[in-house]
Amino acid sequence: MDNKTLSVAIMSGKGGVGKTNLALNLGFCLFKGNHPVVLMDCDLGLANLDVLLGLAPDKNLQDVIDHDVPPEDILVPIEPGGFDFLPAASGVPELFEMDEDMRALLLSKLHPVFADHHYLFMDLGAGINPTVLSFASMSRVRIIVVTPEPTSLTDGYALIKVLATQRGVKDFLVVVNQVESKAEEQQTFSRLNMACEKFLGFGLTLLGSVRMDKALPESVRRQVPLMKRTPDSPAGKDLFALARKLHSLRASLLPQLAGEPVLVNFSSGTPD
Partner 1 sequence: MTDGTFGNIDALAGELRALGRLIGEAAAPAAGAACVGASGVLALTRLVRGMGPDDWFEMASRNGLSQWLALPVAEQDFPLLSHLLATLDDLAFRTEHDALTGLANANFFTRRLEKELDRVNRDGAVLSMALLSIDDLDGLTGRFGPAWAERVFMELARTMGRVKRPYDLAARLGENLFGLILPGARPHNVCAMLERLQAGLAASFACSGGDGSGNGGSGNGDATAGVSFCAGHTTCVGRISGRACDFHELATAALTQARRKGAGCIQATKLPDESFSPQATMVHSDEKKFLFSGI
Ligand X SMILES: Nc1ncnc2c1ncn2[C@@H]1O[C@H](COP(=O)(O)OP(=O)(O)O)[C@@H](O)[C@H]1O
By CB under 6 A, tell whether 239 contacts ligand X.
no
Using rule CB under 8 A, residue 165 touches partner 1:
yes
271 binds partner 1 per the rule CB under 8 A: yes
**Which does residue 177 bind out of ligand X, Mg ion, partner 1, none, counting CB within 5 to 8 angstroms by kind?**
ligand X
Q: Name the one range near ligand X by CB under 6 A: 8-16, 55-63, 73-81, 105-113.
A: 8-16
Nearer to partner 1, 49 or 153 (CB): 153
Does position 25 interact with ligand X (CB under 6 A)? The reply is no
Binding of residue 201 to partner 1 (CB under 8 A): no
Helices (H) and strands (E) in the chain, counts: 11, 8
Could you say which of 55, 75, 158, 220 contacts ligand X (CB under 6 A)?
Answer: 220
Residues in binding contact with ligand X, number by CB under 6 A: 17
| 37 and 31 Cβ atoms separated by less than 8 Å | yes
Which CB sits closer to ligand X, 27 or 257? 27
Per-residue contact flags (x/-) with ligand X for residues 153 to 192, judged by CB under 6 A = ------------------------xx--------------
Taking CB atoms within 8 Å and a gap of at least 24, the contacts of 102-111 are 102/65, 103/131, 103/134, 105/65, 106/61, 106/64, 106/65, 107/138, 107/263, 109/64, 109/70, 109/71, 110/40, 110/64, 110/71, 110/86, 111/262
Instruction: State the binding partner of 99 from Mg ion, ligand X, partner 1, none, CB within 5 to 8 A by kind.
Output: partner 1
Which uninterrupted H or E stretch holds 77?
strand 76-79
Nearer to ligand X, 174 or 257 (CB): 174
Beta strands in 105-212 (DSSP E): 119-123, 141-146, 173-179, 205-211
Q: Which CB, 167 or 211, lies closer to partner 1?
A: 167
Q: Look at strands 83-86 and 76-79 and give their pairing.
A: antiparallel
Which CB, 16 or 112, lies closer to ligand X?
Answer: 16
Q: Does 20 bind Mg ion (CB under 5 A)?
A: yes
Does residue 216 interact with ligand X by CB under 6 A?
A: yes
Phi, psi of 120 (to 5 degrees): -115, 110
Provide the edge-to-edge strand list for the sheet that holds 173-179.
76-79, 83-86, 37-41, 119-123, 6-11, 141-146, 173-179, 205-211
d(CA 119, CA 98): 24
Q: Which is nearer to partner 1, 223 or 267 (CB)?
A: 267
- Of 22-51, which residues contact Mg ion (CB under 5 A)? 48
Q: Which residues contact 261 (CB under 8 A, 6 or more apart)?
A: 3
Instruction: Answer with the entry of Mg ion, ligand X, partner 1, none that 161 interacts with (C-beta below 5 to 8 A by kind).
Output: partner 1
Write out the residues near Mg ion by the rule CB under 5 A.
19-20, 48
